[in-house]
Amino acid sequence: MNELKPKLFEVFKEYSGKQLVKDIIAGVIVGIIALPLSIALAIASGVGPEQGLYTAIIAGFFIAVFGGSRVQIGGPTAAFVTIIGGIIAKYGVSGLTVATIMAGIILVLFGIFHFGSLIKFIPYTITCGFTCGIAVTLFVGQLKDFFGFKMESVPSEFIDKIIAYAKAVGTTNLIAIVLGLCAVIIMLVWPRIAEKLPGFLNAIPGSLLAIVITTVIAAVAKLPVNTIGSVYGELSSRFPTPQIPEISFGLIKDLIQPAFTIAILAGIESLLSAVVSDGMIGDTHKSNAELIGQGLGNVFSGLFGGIPATGAIARTAANVRNGGRTPIAGITHCVTLTAVLLLLMPIASYIPMTTLAAVLLVVASGMADWRSFGRLVKTAPKSDVLVLVATFVLTVIFDLVVAIEVGVVLAALLFMKRMSETTGVHAWKYTDDPDVTPGEAEKLRALPRTIKVYEFSGPLFFAATDRIMRIGVDKTTKVIVIRMRAVTAIDASALKALRELAESISDRGIRLVFSHVNEQPYKAMERDGFVSLVGENNFRVNIVDALEYAEKLV
């Protein structure tokens, strides 16, 4: 049960007033960093700007309190933008709420049943492929607001979106472009300036500074650009109240796929973030407790009108760099955003849409690891490149649900193919075989032709059963010795093939002897009844013992 115990309950043993001050400062700074991102990601996802703050506040609180990392900062991330847009387009905001709650429940179950370690079985080629794919779709999704296109609606499909943009080129707003470029320049230049500044000024994020400056310019000069207020109307500054959505069996059935995708994506990103932060603070996170915290965060985010959330790597790293070392910093980050929601939210209506688009353009450019993508294409095996490119293309052209499903299945099939190629069934040579050289003959043990020896290597599973069936006998064969010291695992299909082999040669009076069967294969054989079928005495400790036993039999 200790694996499921939240980290928050462990930090107070050595907690001090000095660390409390550091955690509060770090939490306030991370809250300021999260503010523009939460609003921008909510709008990019197709929901209201307030819902981004709801998510950061509610989900961030539960992730900090019940999670398995000391410094994890939870909230909306760019990884969910495309999948959220697809769910809203098909099932509406109410469908998104149900999917978010379902994903949270799935994550809690993952944690309870100790699935935290299973996330590592998602290949890097898939995570790299869909991350780059998400970056492309997120980038393209911001072009409407960045260029100020006058469009009634933007298609959700990538190709249709590009076509719609091409048709709307004549409605480009040059003032919006200039304002958006100003925001991009501020975000790119400010970090270099901030390095030389002292204290709190050093921690101000470029995205927040870009929003403040461009908002003031747009408001004072009364520039003809779309703002959050002109698009979404008056923004609510009230704290959300929980709402239970209408749920039906049919809706749950329809949303089970996207819910699982949200859960898997949230699990992968949060655990990756936890691993990164572990290296920064010299701690070890609890993966299963972290999944439970992420799950509760998503359940309550959905109930309070938020969107899917996960651990945010950039915000978590900022927390650590500014002195945060316990979940108190994550809780403070939520309190800071709550204060902004209650006191300053109406001001957000003046923020230009092109500025938010600029923020997400920079986010999208930074989240894609194109260097690793290119290196994999050049150096990885062809099968890995196929998985990488397929996941990337499917994420961009279709959606993340299809991409992950196809990517995982394709990776699994290719992995099984590679594993089957490593499985070998090799017959021992006799000293008098025509192709045996004199030097080789000296190393071989002299055996009568009535004994055949086969050496198995690699895992014996369903893709390798054909090799077992190739074992041949002739009229002189009396004993077959199978050496299994290099077989680490066996499955039901391989056991069935061995059983068929044993039964077929038994009818011809041939004995079957096994040498050095490892623990997992032997236990599987016992449960299957195969040991009783062959005879327990026919399982020998090593090859020397097995050969001596076989010689006595003949």
CA distance 25 to 282: 21
Residue 1, pLDDT score: 62
In 323-335, which positions are buried (b, 16+ CB within 10 angstroms) versus exposed (e)?
bbbbbbbbbbbbb
Cβ–Cβ contacts within 10 Å for residue 30, how many? 35
- What DSSP line would sit under 362-377, residue for residue? HHHHHH--HHHHHHHH
pLDDT tens, N- to C-terminus, the chain (554 residues): 678 899 998 888 788 888 999 999 899 989 988 999 999 999 999 999 999 999 999 999 999 999 999 999 999 998 898 889 889 989 999 999 999 999 999 999 999 999 887 766 788 898 889 889 988 988 998 999 999 999 877 887 889 999 999 999 999 999 999 999 999 999 999 988 988 887 667 777 889 899 999 999 999 999 999 999 998 888 888 999 999 998 899 999 999 999 999 999 899 889 988 988 998 898 999 999 999 999 999 999 999 999 999 999 889 988 998 889 999 999 999 999 999 999 988 888 999 999 999 999 998 888 888 999 999 999 999 999 999 999 999 989 987 778 888 888 898 888 888 888 888 888 887 776 777 666 665 556 778 889 999 999 999 988 888 888 888 888 889 999 999 999 999 999 999 999 999 999 988 899 999 999 999 999 999 999 999 999 999 999 999 999 999 999 88
CA distance 273 to 326: 15
Q: Which residue has the tokens 């698009």?
A: 231
Give, in order, the Cα–Cα distances in Å from 301 to each of 218, 241, 275, 296. Answer: 33, 11, 24, 8
- The CATH class for the domain spanning 424-553 reads alpha beta
Every domain of the chain and the residues it spans = 2-8+24-413, 424-553
Give, in order, the Cα–Cα distances in Å from 212 to each of 19, 95, 253. Answer: 31, 34, 44
CA distance 357 to 138: 10
Helix (H) or strand (E) holding 454: strand 451-457
Joined tokens for residue 193: 């300036």
**pTM of the predicted model over 0.85:** no
Q: What values do phi and psi take at 12, rounded to 5?
A: -80, -10
451-457 and 424-427 beta bridge pairing: antiparallel
Residue 398, pLDDT score: 83
